Amino acid sequence: MPAFTLYSVPGSTNTNRIRLVLAEGGFTDYEIVQLNMQKGEHKSEEHLKRHPWGKVPVVTLPNGFTLYESRAICKYLTKKYSFPLLPAESDLEATALVDQADSVETLYFADPAGKIVFEKFVKKKWGQTPNETVVSDALKAVEAYFDVAEKLLQAREYMAGDEFTLVDIAYIPTIQRLFAVGHGDVVTGRKAVNAWWERCLNRPAIKKVMDADNAAATAYK
């Protein structure tokens, strides 16, 4: 029996965040169950018991413990299996910097970047027309975000300091989609941001997962 089951839908960036964490930890003892959104399996009575809002990802353990929200899942798995992706809790300053960087990604990057991905990747996948006004406004916010990140990354290797952490992983699936829809210049056009991105991509575990997903990510260009 696998250590846990991970429920997802094909192409989920939030699920990919968890897969990257597991890859970094060298952990393979889990099962992925892909739900069929077209059949409404993510809104089924069975899945609503796992996630009351009918979304993914969700992990369930054999003992019945269930957890949803990708960032919470990533942190839980990192601590449960002792992946080297967080500072020691006794290091209060390093832990605080990770918490700070985690909030920054959630508040200032994830929302506008997610809107671009939804409009230009997900809608295209569904055969719908993107709202270019939404894309334009969101792109301005992402550009402004990376202008600030460019300055910060001139003095550090990664988003929370000089060590690769969960926070860096949080960015990767969404940025991968930004490249897929033609907006990779928000990264490549900034020297320090691009150097950070290359450091992330050069990690063997990250590269392995990204290589496996690139064909699907670029199929909707």
User: Computed from CA positions of residues 155, 160, 162, 165, in that sequence, does the dihedral angle turn out positive or negative?
Assistant: negative
pLDDT at 11: 87
CA pair distance 144, 182, nearest whole angstrom: 18
Which tokens sit at 101?
């960087």
- Supply the mean pLDDT for the chain: 94
Residue 221 has pLDDT above 70, yes or no: no
Q: Give the mean pLDDT of 84-98.
A: 96
Residue 220 has pLDDT above 60, yes or no: no
CATH of domain 92-218: 1.20.1050.10
pLDDT at 154: 98
Q: Which residue has the higher pLDDT, 119 or 216?
A: 119
pLDDT at 17: 96
Residue 82 has pLDDT above 50, yes or no: yes
Residue 216 has pLDDT above 80, yes or no: no
pTM score, two decimals? Answer: 0.93
Residue 111 has pLDDT above 50, yes or no: yes
> Could you state, in order of their start, the residue ranges of all structural domains in the chain?
4-80, 92-218
The per-residue pLDDT for range 13-41, each reduced to its tens digit, is: 999 999 999 999 999 999 999 999 889 99
Q: Give the mean pLDDT of 133-150.
A: 98
Hey, what CATH topology would domain 4-80 get?
Glutaredoxin (3.40.30)
CB 15 within 8 A of CB 30: no
Residue 219 has pLDDT above 70, yes or no: no
